[in-house]
Amino acid sequence: MSFILVISGPSGVGKSTLLSKLFTEFKDELYFSISSTTRKPRNGEKDGEHYHFITQDEFQQDIKNGYFLEWALVHQNYYGTSLKQTQEALSQGKIVIFDIDVQGFHQIVEKLDEKIVSVFIITKDKEELKKRLIKRNADTIEHLEQRLENARLEMKELDKYDYLIINENLEQSYEALKSILITQKIRTDGQNLEQIRTLWNKGE
Contact partner, 86, from ligand 5GP, ligand ADP, none, Cβ < 5-8 Å per class: none
Distance CA 204, CA 202 (A): 5
Binding mask of the shown chain, residues 127 to 146, with x at each position contacting ligand ADP by CB under 6 A: -----x--xx----------
Rule CB under 6 A: choose which of 5, 18, 31, 80 binds ligand 5GP. Answer: 80
Distance CA 6, CA 4 (A): 6
**Residue 14 counted as an annotated binding residue:** yes
Residue number with CB closer to ligand 5GP (69 or 180): 69
Q: Under the criterion CB under 6 A, does residue 54 sit at the interface with ligand ADP? A: no
Rule CB under 6 A: choose which of 17, 85, 103, 150 binds ligand ADP. Answer: 17
Closest C-alpha to 95, from 200, 170, 1: 1
CB neighbour list of residue 33: distance below 8 Å, 6 or more residues apart:
81, 82, 85, 86, 89, 96, 97, 98, 99
Contact partner, 100, from ligand 5GP, ligand ADP, none, Cβ < 5-8 Å per class: ligand 5GP
Closest C-alpha to 4, from 85, 95, 88, 86: 95
Distances (CA, A) of 8 to 62, 105, 119, 170, 196: 23, 8, 6, 16, 34
Contact partner, 38, from ligand 5GP, ligand ADP, none, Cβ < 5-8 Å per class: none
Q: Under the criterion CB under 6 A, does residue 32 sit at the interface with ligand 5GP? A: no
Size of the site for ligand 5GP (CB under 6 A): 15
Side chain identity at 102, as an amino acid letter? V
Question: What is the smallest separation between the CB atom of 19 and ligand ADP, expressed in angstroms?
Answer: 8
Q: Under the criterion CB under 6 A, does residue 118 sit at the interface with ligand 5GP? A: no
**Residue 9 counted as an annotated binding residue:** yes
Distance CA 161, CA 146 (A): 23
**Residue 66 counted as an annotated binding residue:** no
Using CB under 6 A as the criterion, which residues of the chain lie in contact with ligand ADP when the complex forms?
A: 9, 11-17, 132, 135-136, 167-168, 170, 173
